[in-house]
Amino acid sequence: MKSSAKFVAFTGILAALAVVLSLLENLLPPIPGMPPGAKLGLSNIVSMYAAGCVGFFPAMTVALAKGLFAFLTRGVTAGLMSTAGGLFSTLIVWLLLKKLRFGLLGASAAGALAHNAAQLMIACLLTSSAVLYYAPILVLLGTASGTLTGLVLGVLLPPLEKLQRR
Amino acid sequence: MKLSLSSVKKWTVVAAALTVLLAAILVSQLFFSKTSAGYEATAWAMGSYVQQTLYGDGAEDTATDVSSAITELENLISWRVADSDIEKLNSAAGTEWLELDERTIDVLEEALSVAEATDGAYDPTILPISALWNFDSDEPTLPEKEKITSLLPYVGYEFLRINTEENTASLRNHGNGVDLGGIGKGAACDTALEIYQESGIDGGIIAVGGSVGVYGSKPDGSAWRISVRDPEGKAEDGLGVLSLKEGCVSTSGSYEKTFTEDGVTYHHLLDAKTGYPAESGLVSVTVVHESGAISDALATACFVLGIEDSLPVLKEFGASALFIDEEHHITIAGEMEFEQISTDYTVSRQTL
Amino acid sequence: MKSQFPLFRKRDILVFLVAAVLAIAGFLQWIPKSGTPVAVIEQNGKEIRRVELSSITQPETIVLEGEISVTVLLEPGQVSIVHSDCPDQICVNTGALTRPGQSAVCLPARVSVRIVGENNSGIDGMTG
């Protein structure tokens, strides 16, 4: 990918894709018995792909776009939580995948954990520290959904990389 | 940037991970200990031991506010405090209407509502008789029979008149007197609950003597559990546990303030009709109601009335009650979540 | 065609290890702490004595002088008001206190003995 216009356009497509995926996810009914905020994290697939194959700044742009979208559609609290979670998890994924050369599963799980951790911190600041009660559940759920995202990426990445190389 | 793992030794990664881990655990411990412990405060007011446990932000300030508000209330409604509203009202008995603090009027209004509903089984104008017995002092005494007979006509809630629009009150005859001892602890709980509500704390519980008020929720979201004291003091954990989501609970027990003279034990729950300690075969009555003042006054009234006559009154106020009688039997009237602990007592339920 | 990113590398285990420890540490917080119960003796709202119940090896009596004198007995694992000059004797009848949340109060003497510590008795208050 040489042309910068193409690069920007590609980043935009990724951001749009992430937004659509998170929108889809919001349409799913909440899982009963689960704490609020526990989600599958479909759009994290896009964030991870961006962090791993496109670059640090495009990945952060995708995270910001997702946050902005949440801000517009679901209010200040959700926007703040989504932005903080997205940025932090993207940072962690990029660090683990590109710099420390972790595998997809590890990076993805760490990314999901970072996402939850940042969200929890924001929730803690905005509401009460009682939400920390959910922390261990969120750790387990985050690891599970992160692993799932990693597996999906493991399947999707080879054809995507082939596509990108053209 | 050429930073690959080959240049970073494995143990560096492990050490970094462990450090982050430890820090995370420490931080979470810090947060958790803050949320689960609750802030405790104790004080003396209303002639009682006041205990508060509060959860959430601003607990300490709120507890202090509550303590001073209760002391303020005491300085308004205690007849023993010089220049209190009630002391002034009693001094002005038989003369003029007095303008009083709104808080005093509120308590008087609640007292009158229970007095009227129970036909004086709870009577805020008991002072001429209660002052004779002097149960609140260190040396309660058995009054002479003639004294009681001569002062009994001065007791009657109809002598107490209030105007809630102008916040005024009067006692009709010289010799009438108001004693809010049977309602003050409950009213103090109401004061606390109001402040809790305004303060933005997550939850709190206040106990003023035998009256308890609960607000909001505990960190784990479960209902407040209030133990009912064993009148004989044998069961360490009490007779059983009441679960309460909101509101107040008060107990009037004949074991609370007593003295023995010539082999006879006298307790402080006076029957305004006879001027002597009430004898209804009960040892204690515990009443649950959203208002602390009402629950406190009802507990006294129900003790005097006995189980049978209490039922319609409880129904009228939408309250529920737990009666303990001298035969070691517990009767629960109305909706009440009660979990028995002591096996020395039998339990039956009664619908209202 | 293989991706430039392997699905799994050994160091990934670190992430899962960290997650496991975090989860366990978090769940441990759900277990109410038993803590060490501490007896607090107060007179006129002033703290007279604060002692860890488990640290008491020998019975000890504390006499609180005043208009109404009260005697408190500290024993291994428990504390009680054993004597009071008050007329009602409620405090003495309360018996021995062993767990956080329990208290014995002598109103006339303005003496209170209570046990503080992480309350795991499941009782938030007492009426009566």
CB contact under 8 A, A128 and B57: yes
CB contact under 8 A, C29 and B32: yes
**Which sequence spans correspond to the domains of chain A?**
4-29+39-165
pLDDT digits (tens, 9 = 90+) for C16-41: 998 988 888 878 766 655 567 889 99
> Which one of B32, B39, B201, B217 makes the best mutation probe of the A interface by having the most chain A beta carbons within 10 Å?
B32
Residue B14: the pLDDT is 65
CB contact under 8 A, A136 and C12: no
Percent of chain A at pLDDT exceeding 90: 27
pLDDT digits (tens, 9 = 90+) for B42-84: 888 988 889 999 998 899 999 999 999 999 999 999 999 999 9
User: Can you spell out the DSSP letters for B51-87?
Assistant: EEEEESTTHHHHHHHHHHHHHHHHHHH-TTSTT-HHH
Distance CA B199, CA B206 (A): 15
Residues found in chain A: 166
What domains are there in chain C, each with its CATH number? 38-116 (2.60.320.10)
Domain at A4-29+39-165: CATH architecture: Orthogonal Bundle (1.10)
Q: Say yes or no to pLDDT of A36 above 60.
A: no
Q: Say yes or no to pLDDT of A24 above 90.
A: no
Residue B252: the pLDDT is 95
| Residue A136, C-beta contacts closer than 8 angstroms, at least 6 positions apart | C22, C23, C24, C25, C26, C27, C29, C30
Contact B196, B62 (CB under 8 A): yes
Which tokens belong to B133? 């017995």
Q: Say yes or no to pLDDT of B107 above 60.
A: yes
Of C3, C12, C23, the CB nearest to A140: C23
pLDDT digits (tens, 9 = 90+) for B142-183: 999 999 999 999 999 999 999 999 999 999 999 999 999 999
Q: How far is C57 from chain B (nearest CA, A)?
A: 22
Provide the mean pLDDT of chain B: 89
Distance CA C111, CA C91 (A): 9
Neighbour count for residue C61 (Cβ, 10 Å): 11
Per-residue HEC secondary structure of chain A comes to CCCHHHHHHHHHHHHHHHHHHHHHHHHCCCCCCCCCCCCCCCCHHHHHHHHHHHCHHHHHHHHHHHHHHHHHHHHHHHHHHHHHHHHHHHHHHHHHHHHCCCCHHHHHHHHHHHHHHHHHHHHHHHCCHHHHHHHHHHHHHHHHHHHHHHHHHHHHHHHHHHHHHC
> Which one of A133, A137, A138, A139 makes the best mutation probe of the B interface by having the most chain B beta carbons within 10 Å?
A133
Distance CA A26, CA A5 (A): 32
Distance CA B77, CA B231 (A): 29
Q: How far is B76 from chain C (nearest CA, A)?
A: 21
CB contact under 8 A, C18 and B20: yes
More confident residue, B127 or C30: B127
C-alpha distances (whole Å) from A30 to each of A25, A36, A40 are 10, 8, 10
- Residue B177 backbone class (left: φ over 0; alpha: ψ -120 to 50; beta: rest): beta
Q: Say yes or no to pLDDT of A89 above 60.
A: yes
Binning pLDDT at 50, 70 and 90, where does residue A3 land? low
* Displacement of CA B10 from its chain's centroid (Å): 64
AA letter at B21: L
CA-atom Rg of chain B in angstroms? 25
| Residue B42, C-beta contacts closer than 8 angstroms, at least 6 positions apart | B49, B50, B51, B52, C42, C45, C112, C114
Distance CA B298, CA B304 (A): 10
Q: How far is A129 from chain B (nearest CA, A)?
A: 7
Provide the mean pLDDT of chain C: 84
What pTM was estimated for this model as a whole? 0.65
Q: Averaged over A41-54, what is the pLDDT?
A: 86
Contact B334, B298 (CB under 8 A): no
Residues found in chain C: 128
